[in-house]
Structure 1
Amino acid sequence: MLTRIIKRGGRKIPKSDANELYPHGSGYRNSGSGSSSKVTVNHASRTTIPSPTNTTVQQSNSHALPPASSVSDPIVECLPHFRDVASPDRQALFLRKLNLCCIMFDFSDTLKNAREKETKRQTLLELIDFVHSGSSKVSEPVQEELIRTISVNVFRPLPPASHENTGSENVDPEEEDPYLDPAWPHLQLVYELLLRYIVSSETDIKIAKRYIDHSFVLKLIDLFDSEDPREREYLKTVLHRIYGKFMVHRPFIRKAINNIFYRFIFETERHGGIGELLEILGSIINGFALPMKEEHKLFLVRALIPLHKPKSIGIYHQQLSYCITQFVEKDYKLADIVIRGLLKYWPVTNCQKEVLFIGELEEVLDGTQSAEFQRCIVPLFKQIARCLNSPHFQVAERALFLWNNDHIVSLIAQNRSTILPIIFEALENNIRGHWNQAIHGLTANVRKMFIEMDNELFEECKQQYLEKEANAKVLEEQRELTWKRLEAVAAKAGADGMVMVN
């Protein structure tokens, strides 16, 4: 039990103060109404903030986080609204409200410290509105304390993943229910405060980069492993804004994301935020200048293409495919590298993953020029032929749908003399023996297209196929005859042995 009860102020916050927030922050608009509480909490272990008339802030290392305050025995001090104090005193009041927001609560118990939690929520709303309004420029010492307060709240140990709780490593991440952090209504406001600070026109980049430094950014990126999709969505927005506004951090952010991908691909194959990180990269790649730097091409080869390897690719494949196609659209000469990379990681036994690969392959081929296409024709269509004959009808169907793409059909038509001999046998096998009738119809359409492209070439391939089939039949007959002869010899040897024994 708390030794003192927080007294609520009589003044209510106007709806505009609570509701006029960033679109991503809409979730906290209905997280509670109630009147605004003009309070702060002082602790014996924490120095009281000076009064508004005489405020000084001790400069400190931005990497060190202040300890989170305890709520065991709070001492309540009433604080006014920003609009109720003179402009010169608002910076000091801002600091005192930040001090209140450093108090941490247990959100797993909704009844515990409910009034204090509401006080902190209302205070965060006031801070967000103050930063968003830009009515008063935030001084450098206050900016430092703002980032430290945000750090105290968001940089915390993430709860264990569901597979760590159950001890099961074989759970499909796509089938797991998303974890929803009970503290999110509170964390969302903290993220919103950070976002408003970053996008504010009053924020001086030269000053802000002292506190939103590499250490801060790295800790922010580490939070992408959160199991709560709402937190990852906010992190995506915040990191994207930092990347856009703090040019000095761009190479570092790309490298940090790179390292997360390496750990995911080659070590853990477990990370909650790969999709969100890829979404950010999709926008980054879209802004790459031409000619493309070698660093970016290496990132494609060493990180993006190997991301096709993990079993959980279905979770982030859409974002990955977008990044890959962005590279090809930026520089069509990369198409051969991408196609060969897809073939390298092509799934052998996972049919659903194979369907995803074929879909991505179509998008890449749609941006491929003839010269790059010709470099990879043979290995590419050997793989497509295997897909055409897949007993899984969705794989065969998706491969046959490639002929519905006009650009791909145009490339095939230009190189039909190389392609048709590779896939002719697969087409004939489908017509003769595939169990799915829809595959029969789609295969017939593809055969018809080849006949219309070059009937003479089609008949030549057909003749070669029939000769190969006849030769295979002769070889099979010879094998059967040889086997019968061996059986007869063995039987005779056995009979002779019996006679000698008798």
Structure 2
Amino acid sequence: MFNKIMKRGQKKPSKAEAIEPPMPTSSASNVTVNHASRLAAPSPPPLTLATVPQNPGVVEVLPMLKDVPISDRHLVFIRKVQVCCFFFDFTDTMKSAREKEIKRQTLTELVDLVQSGSCKMNEVMQEELVKMISLNIFRCLPPAPHENTGSEAGDPEEDEMFMDPAWPHLQLVYELLLRYIVSSDTDTKIAKRYLDHSFVLKLLDLFDSEDLREREYVKTILHRIYGRFMVHRPFIRNAINNIFYRFVFETERYSGVGELLEILGSIINGFALPMKEEHKLFLVRALVPLHKPKCIAMYHHQLAYCIIQFVEKDYRLADTVIRGLLKYWPVTNCGKEVLFLGELEEILEVTQSAEFQRCMVPLFRQIGRSLNSPHFQVAERALFWWNNEHIVGLIAENRHVILPIIFYALEKNIKSHWNQAINGLSSNVRRMFQEMDTELFEECKRQHDEKEAKSEEVEEKRVSTWKRLEEVAGQIT
């Protein structure tokens, strides 16, 4: 009977006890480390926090956490985290191969542990975990390939993609950080002590990595931090703002602009209405100037999405955005001009008549110049605007202002553009205006013919003047 009572008293540890390991203390434990087989190993000295070296000289093979007594798991967890603080030369695949594999397996176990939620971490464990992650990912980034050769950056689609040789370990570290942030067991009040503003700034620096895989992970992680840690939101927006300033007005070189704009696209989508003045200033001072750099093709798709999100949120911003694009309109970069024309078409699709009327004069003066571009893709992209029903509606409503501005450009294309496709498209647009308002069309044609006659007369006078000057000069000599 006594034995039965004793057996009942020996309760199995509950799941809660297994999930929440105790805070580290100086009490001794019987965890065995640095061995291949626990059965053959002699009894080691007790493992305490005092015996955990901060920078051990060897990479230890530690037991799986599930095989360790509950009271000692927090100590073994910290030892495993410290094993992951070792750095290796990944340019030589054979060097320290065993140690690299130990670190990889340890990182994999930690990822599974955090993802499963089987070991809810206390504050000390979280602090050590974030320290280890910081040591691994916050580093001097390898130089870009074009920096090694001293040449300028070329087309990103043609350049060979950079692949960081340390990625097999870095990926696991990033995965561990991501799982830690999104875990329902992570208390944001505790986590924000370690994922502070300094951590966020260093994370933003990693967007300059040449490895696309790393930038994708950093993008996802920063987005999750923005979503879970509301206290960081204004700081993150301000830090991104500063990155854009430095990129546009100083360096014009930053690898992660596209990824940052993808995050902003999601953030802008969540802005409440009426929109804060802070957000409007961000549009004017940071997003619109991003049209200035030559390398805009690398991130234009994401930028256009952000710009259009603003106009959709507040239609009154259309005039501000359109005038901003006209300010940064490319003069000698035809590829960039095609991008601008496409973006403007998307903006006009969500622009209302009142805002269109405020900017249509400078806008169509520029469109007239684009129509006459010797680069046929620029002229063609501008003429394609007349295939958009919404834009045609805006133009028809304001045809008395727009047609006189672009009539000369259409006539010039029809008469003298070298590309037959541009001749045909210009004729179609001309016919559309004629059917839209015959009286206005005839008036514009009359004014155009008068200007042409006057210009011919002026040209004749100029030629005759030069001839007389040549004759006088010949008589003198």
Q: Distance in 2 between matches of 1:54 and 1:269?
A: 52
1:265 aligns with 2:212: no
2:95 aligned with 1:112, yes or no?
Answer: yes
1:296 to 2:279 alignment: yes
Aligned partner of 1:395 in structure 2 is 378
Identical counterparts, % of pairs = 72
Q: Flag the 1:93–1:179 CA change in 2: closer, same or farther, 3 A.
A: same
Aligned equivalent of 1:438: 421
| Corresponding residue number in structure 2 for 1:274 | 257
1:12-51 superposed matches below 5 A? none
2:406 partner SS: helix
Q: Name which of 443, 447, 465 aligns with 1:460.
A: 443
State which of 189, 193, 196 in structure 1 corresponds to 2:176: 193
Q: Report the 3-state secondary structure (helix = DSSP H, G, I; strand = E; otherwise coil) of the residue aligned with 2:193.
A: coil
Q: Is the 8 A contact 2:226 2:233 kept in 1?
A: yes
- The 8 Å contact of residues 52 and 92 in structure 1, kept in 2 or not, is answered as no
Name which of 55, 66, 74 aligns with 2:58: 74
Partner of 2:138: 155
1:173–1:312 contact (8 Å) kept in structure 2: no
> Structure 1 residue 57: deviation in Å?
11
1:376-432, CA deviations, whole angstroms, 9 ceiling, x for partnerless residues? Answer: 111100100011111101000100111111111111011000000000111111111
Mapped contact 2:164–2:211 kept (Cα < 8 A): yes
State the distance in 2 between where 1:426 and 1:244 align: 50
Matched, 1:133 2:92: no
Contact 1:174/1:312, CA 8 A, preserved across alignment: no
Shift of 1:134: 0.9
Q: What is the CA distance between 1:177 and its match in structure 2?
A: 1.9
Q: Which has the higher contact order (CA 8 A, sep 6+)?
A: 1
In 2, distance between residues paired with 1:184 and 1:57? Answer: 32
Q: Give the structure 1 partner of residue 351 of structure 2.
A: 368
8 Å CA contact 1:57, 1:141 repeated in 2 = no
The separation in 1 between residues aligned to 2:350 and 2:186, in whole angstroms, is 41
Q: What is the CA-CA distance between 1:492 and the residue it aligns to?
A: 2.8
Segments of 5+ residues of structure 2 without an aligned counterpart are 1-31, 36-43
Map 1:15-414; keep pairs closer than 5 Å.
Answer: 54-55=48-49, 69=55, 74=58, 76=60, 78-169=61-152, 171-172=154-155, 175-414=158-397
Q: Distance in 2 between matches of 1:155 and 1:170?
A: 24
How far off is 1:40 after superposition?
A: 5.9
Give 1:288 shift: 0.9
Post-superposition CA distance 1:200-227 (Å, at most 9, x none) = 0000000000000000110000111111
Q: TM-score, length-normalised on structure 1?
A: 0.84
Partner of 1:33: none
Residue 39 of structure 1: how far off its partner (Å): 6.8
Q: Is the 8 A contact 1:40 1:97 kept in 2?
A: no
- Alpha carbons 2:59, 2:83 under 8 Å: kept: no
Count of residues in Structure 1 that have an aligned counterpart in Structure 2: 438
Aligned 8 A contact 2:404 2:444 in 1: yes
> Structure 1 unaligned runs (5+)?
1-37, 42-49, 59-65, 495-502
Alignment partners' CA distance in 2, 1:88 and 1:433: 87
CA contact (8 A) 1:397 1:439 kept: yes
Question: Do residues 447 (structure 1) and 447 (structure 2) align?
Answer: no
Cα distance change of structure 1 residues 191 and 349 upon mapping to structure 2, 3 Å threshold = same
SS of the equivalent of 1:376 reads helix
Select between 132-141 and 384-393 the one with higher mean Cα deviation: 132-141
Partner letter of residue 381 of structure 1?
F
1:40–1:79 Cα contact (<8 Å) kept? yes
CA–CA distance in structure 2, aligned partners of residues 340 and 174 of structure 1: 31
Q: Deviations over 1:82-126 (max 9, x none)?
A: 222233432222111101111111111111111111111111111
Q: Name 1:5's counterpart in structure 2.
A: none
- Given the alignment, which residue of 456, 460, 465 partners 1:482? 465
d(CA) in 2 for partners of 1:383, 1:57: 73
The one-letter code of the counterpart of 1:107 is: F
Q: Matches of 1:380 and 1:455 in 2, distance apart?
A: 24
Structure 2 distance, partners of 1:438, 1:491, is 48
The C-alpha deviation readout for 1:343-397, integer Å capped at 9, x for no partner, is: 0000000100100010111111111111111111111001000111111010001
Shift of 1:167: 1.6
